[in-house]
Copies of this chain bind each other. A is one copy, B any other.
Amino acid sequence: MRARSFFISTLKEAPADADVVSQQYMIRAGMIKKLAAGVYTYMPMGLRTIRKIEGIIRDEMNRAGAIELLMPIVQPAELWQESGRWEKYGDELLRFKDRHDRDFVIQPTSEEVITDVARQEIKSWRQLPVNFYHIQTKFRDERRPRFGVMRGREFTMKDAYSFDRDEAGAAKSYDTMYDAYCKIFNRLGLMFRAVRADTGAIGGSRSHEFQVIANTGEDVIAYCPESDYAANIELAEASSLLAGREAATETMEKRATPGKEKCEDVAEYLGIPFTKSVKSVVLAADRTNEKGEPLPAKIVLVLLRADHELNDVKAGHIPELKEGFRFATDKEIEAAFGSKPGYLGPVGLGEDVAVYADLTVADMSDFCCGANEEGFHYTGVNFGRDLPEPKAMDLRNVVEGDKSPDGAGELKLQRGIEVGHVFFLGTRYSEALNATYLDENGQPKVMQMGCYGIGVTRIAGAAIEQNHDDKGIIWPDAIAPFEVVICPMNYSKSEDVRNAAEKLYRELQAAGVDVILDDRDMRPGVMFADWELIGVPHRVVIGDRGLKTGEVEYAARRHLDEKVMVKVDEALDFIVRQLKR
Contact = CB atoms under 8 A, between A and B. Distances in A.
A329 interface: no
B41 A139 contact: no
B7 A67 contact: yes
Closest 3 CB pairs of A and B: A96-B96, A42-B70, A36-B76
A74 B154 contact: yes
A106 B74 contact: yes
A50 to B, nearest CB: 7
A139 B74 contact: yes
Interface in A100-134: 104, 106, 113, 116-117, 120-121, 130, 132
Interface in A40-66: 40-44, 46-47, 50, 65
Contacts of A562: none
A83 to B, nearest CB: 15
Q: Which of A74, A96, A143 is packed against the most chain B CB atoms within 10 Å?
A: A74
A6 interface: yes
Interface string A135-149: 001010101000000
Interface in A65-103: 65, 67-76, 91-92, 94, 96-99
Contacts of A557: none
Contact of A70 (B50, B73, B91): B50
A41 B71 contact: yes
A102 to B, nearest CB: 8
15 contacts: A5-B65, A7-B67, A7-B69, A7-B121, A7-B132, A9-B121, A33-B121, A35-B72, A39-B76, A41-B70, A42-B70, A47-B68, A50-B70, A92-B99, A137-B137
Interface string A363-381: 0000000000000000000
A42 B137 CA distance: 15
A428 to B, nearest CB: 21
A117 B30 CA distance: 11
A91 B7 CA distance: 36
A153 interface: yes
B41 A117 contact: yes
B154 A73 contact: yes
Interface of A: 5-7, 9, 33, 35-36, 39-44, 46-47, 50, 65, 67-76, 91-92, 94, 96-99, 104, 106, 113, 116-117, 120-121, 130, 132, 137, 139, 141, 143, 153-154
Contacts of A6: 67
A47 B71 CA distance: 10
A163 to B, nearest CB: 11
A69 B41 contact: yes
Contacts of A47: 68-70
B69 A43 contact: yes
A41 B154 CA distance: 20
A77 to B, nearest CB: 10
A36 B105 CA distance: 12
Contacts of A143: 99
A552 to B, nearest CB: 28
A35 B68 contact: no
A17 to B, nearest CB: 15
Contacts of A73: 73, 106, 137, 139, 154
Contacts of A117: 33, 41, 43
Nearest to A153: B74
Given A41-B71, A46-B69, A96-B97, 7 more contacts: A5-B65, A35-B76, A41-B113, A44-B67, A47-B69, A92-B99, A98-B141
Contacts of A72: 35-36, 39-41, 154
A518 to B, nearest CB: 15
A74 B65 CA distance: 33
A254 B489 CA distance: 91
A356 to B, nearest CB: 35
Contacts of A71: 35, 41
Contacts of A65: 5
A94 to B, nearest CB: 7
B67 A42 contact: no
A70 B42 CA distance: 5
A92 to B, nearest CB: 8
A87 B395 CA distance: 56
B33 A120 contact: yes
A116 B94 CA distance: 25
Given A71-B41, A73-B137, A36 B104 contact: yes
Given A7-B67, A141-B99, A74 B39 contact: yes
A5 B68 CA distance: 12
A85 to B, nearest CB: 16
Contacts of A153: 74, 98
Contacts of A42: 69-70
A532 to B, nearest CB: 21
Contacts of A7: 67, 69, 121, 130, 132
A96 B94 contact: yes
A33 B79 CA distance: 15
A66 to B, nearest CB: 10
A65 B1 CA distance: 11
A80 to B, nearest CB: 12
A120 B97 CA distance: 33
Nearest to A95: B96
